[in-house]
Amino acid sequence: MYKAYIICRLFTGYQKASKYVEPYVKIMFQLFNFYRVFEGLYMKFFLALLLLCATSAFAEIYKWTDENGNVHFGDNPNNKEKATELKIDTESRTGVTHSSGRNKDRDRLLKNRAEERVEKAKKKKKYEAKKKRMRRKCLLAKDGLDQHLRASAIYKVDSKGERKYYSTKQRAKSLKRLQKSISKYCSY
């Protein structure tokens, strides 16, 4: 009765078991005790049922053709004389097993992943080298533009060592070339 009181209090929140709930709780405890007594028997019954189901997996399989020409497969043919029993080899293992196919697939996937990593590392290294070259060219172009804007006159030294000063047109062309280089190399 004490168990019934605790269960009723848990589920209903009342101090006292209600007259409708108490009989159901008593029945529940009786069934629980019945289960505990016959637990071993149930386990034995379950194992016997499992073995019975396992042996039915080795049933005979037949193939037959009906009067309409349809081919049927099953374990209970309409006419056993016209049906042919199929021999199914359940002992041999075919297909992918743990030791053969899965390991090969795993090794192939690991090899592909390693190749992808190496390729990705090469691309990253190439990208970083290109980025470094572009950054250097950007700095040179910005420095050249800064010198162009600061200088009052721009010149070029020829093969004889003499200075050849740029005309206004040449200076504008050089300035345009430097700005184009900056937009090309500094946007990377």
Sign, CA dihedral 15-20-24-27, equals positive
122 and 47 within one domain: no
Expressed as residue numbers, the domain containing 177 is 101-185
Residue 83 lies in a domain: no
- 132/126 Cα distance (integer angstroms): 10
The H or E element containing residue 84 is strand 84-86
Helix (H, G, I), strand (E, B) or coil at 156: strand
93 belongs to a structural domain: no
Q: Are residues 129 and 53 part of one domain?
A: no
pLDDT by residue for the chain (188 residues), tens only, comes to: 445 555 555 555 544 545 555 666 566 666 656 555 556 666 666 556 656 655 444 567 888 888 888 888 888 777 777 788 877 766 655 555 555 667 888 889 999 999 999 999 999 999 999 999 999 999 999 999 999 899 888 888 999 999 999 999 999 999 999 999 999 999 86
Domain total of the chain:
2
Q: Is residue 167 part of a domain?
A: yes
Residue 181 lies in a domain: yes
> Do 53 and 117 reside in the same domain of the chain?
no
